[in-house]
Amino acid sequence: MGNIQQIATEFGLSTATVSNALSGKGRVSSETMQKIRARAREMDYFPNPVARALKTGRTNIIGLVMPDLTQPLFPIFARSIEQAAQQAGLAVLIADSMDDAEAQQAAMERLVRQGVDGLIVIPQRGSAPGQARVPMAVIHTASDARNTCSANHYQGGQLAARTLLEAGHKKIALLGYDRSSGVQQDRIAGMESVLAGQADYHIDWLADLQETEIKRVLRDHSAVIATSDSLAMQIMHLAHTTGLSLPGELSLIGFDDLPFSQHLRPALTTIRPDMQAIADHAVRYLMSCFEADTAPVAAQVFDMVLVARDSVARPAAAPVSASFVSSLPTNLNLPKKDRKEKR
């Protein structure tokens, strides 16, 4: 079994540089860090975490507090955090606040007691995480003053609305699930900024509606934007049970590009966040907080992108723009203008 001195001699580096590369501390280039860690694995050398913590005052473990791990988005995001942390030489402890604001605060405190160096928190809907005794990155939305990094939910809403306008839709339903969600509010605000004066749109929150009311909303509009893919899947099911064909009679856009979205019928057009970029920034923020001589990196939002699939088409007899056609997947055939829709 090798040691730090042996690795340092082999690469012509100082023992401090090797130690920093293995711990994720200090200024070591990514290339050098990867080379040192690969050699350490070959030599079956791993620093003693207890001794290192006593010497440095750091465990190189961060805590991740998720709102609800039963929701499909959050395990995917946890994997992105794990990948970012691994690149920085950190381990991750995950806590599930199980859709409860009090449990969220308890999870934060529990992770701090377990010795994490910092926290990454995705807040519960309508909640604000309390102060922590360690550095904390908050992943929420740009309208939250404490937001460290997030998707640009407002811009994503604009992108979804613009897609439907360019397809020729003029009667559009904007459907969220819970009005207490800052993310959903920002997405809908972005939609409104584009649709105002351009289309007849209506906002509803499914938590407030009965199933019969939702079906009425679907029948009264030619397109729907849902604030998540999970919600879009529910809407797709209700549309089918109402007898509406998608996308012939009802176009649909979701958010998040969850893995099941491409397997729905029709495959769901959605707005994708850059989860890995957000995760990388959150970890980078914590790393900057750990360095006494480094200012914490600035908050940042990352634009979302359109993933065009089969659930959006132009309404009957409506003109379609060239930009809309260019955004469609190549295997999607739009109805010709002189072809009447069958009802």
End-to-end CA, the chain: 74
Q: Are residues 173 and 184 in the same domain?
A: yes
pLDDT the model gives residue 221: 97
Contact 228, 255 (CB under 8 A): yes
Q: Are residues 77 and 31 in the same domain?
A: no
In a domain, 336, yes or no: no
Max mean pLDDT among 53-67, 92-106, 116-130, 151-165 falls in 151-165
In a domain, 343, yes or no: no
Question: 298: alpha, beta or left, given left = phi > 0 and alpha = psi -120 to 50?
Answer: beta
Confidence class for position 343, pLDDT limits 50, 70, 90: very low
Q: Are residues 171 and 67 in the same domain?
A: no
Q: What is the pLDDT of residues 175-218, one digit of tens each?
A: 999 999 999 999 999 999 999 999 999 999 998 999 999 999 99
Could you tell me which of 68, 139, 69, 84 has the C-alpha nearest to residue 302? 139
Q: How many domains does the chain have?
A: 3
What's the pTM value of the predicted model, to 2 decimals?
0.78
DSSP-derived letter for residue 260 is: G
pLDDT the model gives residue 341: 38
- 29: pLDDT strictly greater than 90: no
pLDDT the model gives residue 104: 94
How far is 80 from 149, CA to CA, in rounded Å? 14
In a domain, 333, yes or no: no
Max mean pLDDT among 91-100, 315-324, 326-335 falls in 91-100
Segment 156-168 mean pLDDT = 98
Segment 281-294 mean pLDDT = 90
- The phi and psi torsions of 299 (rounded to 5 degrees) equal -60, 150
Contact 156, 189 (CB under 8 A): no
Segment 54-69 mean pLDDT = 83
The fraction of the chain above a pLDDT of 90, given in percent, is 68
Q: Are residues 197 and 267 in the same domain?
A: yes
In a domain, 25, yes or no: yes
Q: Compute the C-alpha angle 147/153/157, nearest 5°.
A: 160
Segment 239-246 mean pLDDT = 96
**What are 287's two structure tokens?**
């790393």
pLDDT the model gives residue 59: 87
Domain that holds residue 40: 4-55
In a domain, 161, yes or no: yes
Residue scoring higher pLDDT (35 or 159):
159
Confidence class for position 342, pLDDT limits 50, 70, 90: very low
In a domain, 189, yes or no: yes
Confidence class for position 296, pLDDT limits 50, 70, 90: confident
Contact 15, 5 (CB under 8 A): yes
Q: Are residues 198 and 322 in the same domain?
A: yes
Mean pLDDT (the chain) is 88
Q: Are residues 134 and 177 in the same domain?
A: no
CATH number, residue 288: 3.40.50.2300
Q: Kind of pairing, strands 305-307 and 300-302?
A: unpaired
In a domain, 339, yes or no: no
**What are 50's two structure tokens?**
């207890």
pLDDT the model gives residue 54: 46
Q: Are residues 212 and 311 in the same domain?
A: yes
How many CB atoms are closer than 10 A to CB 343? 9
How far is 334 from 5, CA to CA, in rounded Å? 66
